[in-house]
Amino acid sequence: MSMDLSIPRHWRRKGPLYRLEAAKCKECGKTHYPPTASCPYCGSKLLERVQLPRVGVLESYTIVYSPPEGARQESPVIVGLINLGGVRVVAEMTDVDPGELSTGMKVEAVLRRVREDGEAGVIYYAVKFRPLLEAGRSGEGQTAEPR
């Protein structure tokens, strides 16, 4: 899987992204996220939806100090490569200072408002990840509420 950093494109996707739904290929057995119409590994269209765990491990991250224009409140932007039960997901990190990040730390998915289109009255949300704070608290089955 190539590391796709085009997060604005992901913003336009809806339900499956929020629910952390991935697609598992019935032919080669590999899972990819976000789900697409055909397997990026073998091209098969025999895919089934699977739910990724909401808690994973931060494998690596990139800090972007000059984010693209467009109502960015958070700067710098931290983009993490997160391993969710064996599936690698690229997503923005939130609720964390760059200095607090370390590879191998546990992170959990949360839903965050990313921007608001005042004229259209549309609010966009995206899945982001934050450090798993409370010990013993599992993200399994939790609903990530927008704030």
Interface residues toward Zn ion, by CB under 5 A: 25, 27-28, 39, 41-42, 44
Closest CB to Zn ion among 25 and 93? 25
Min CB(46)–Zn ion separation in Å: 8
User: What are the beta bridge partners of residue 50?
Assistant: 22
Q: How far is the CB of 44 from Zn ion (least distance, A)?
A: 5
Q: Which residues have a Cβ under 8 Å from the Cβ of 21 and sit 6 or more positions away?
A: 15, 33, 34, 35, 49, 50, 51, 52
DSSP track, 42-70: T----EEEEEPPSEEEEEEEEEESSPPSS
Fill in the DSSP letter of residue 6.
-
User: Residue 39 or 110: which CB sits closer to Zn ion?
Assistant: 39
Between 39 and 55, name the residue whose CB sits nearer to Zn ion. Answer: 39
Closest distance between Zn ion and the C-beta of residue 29, in Å?
Answer: 7
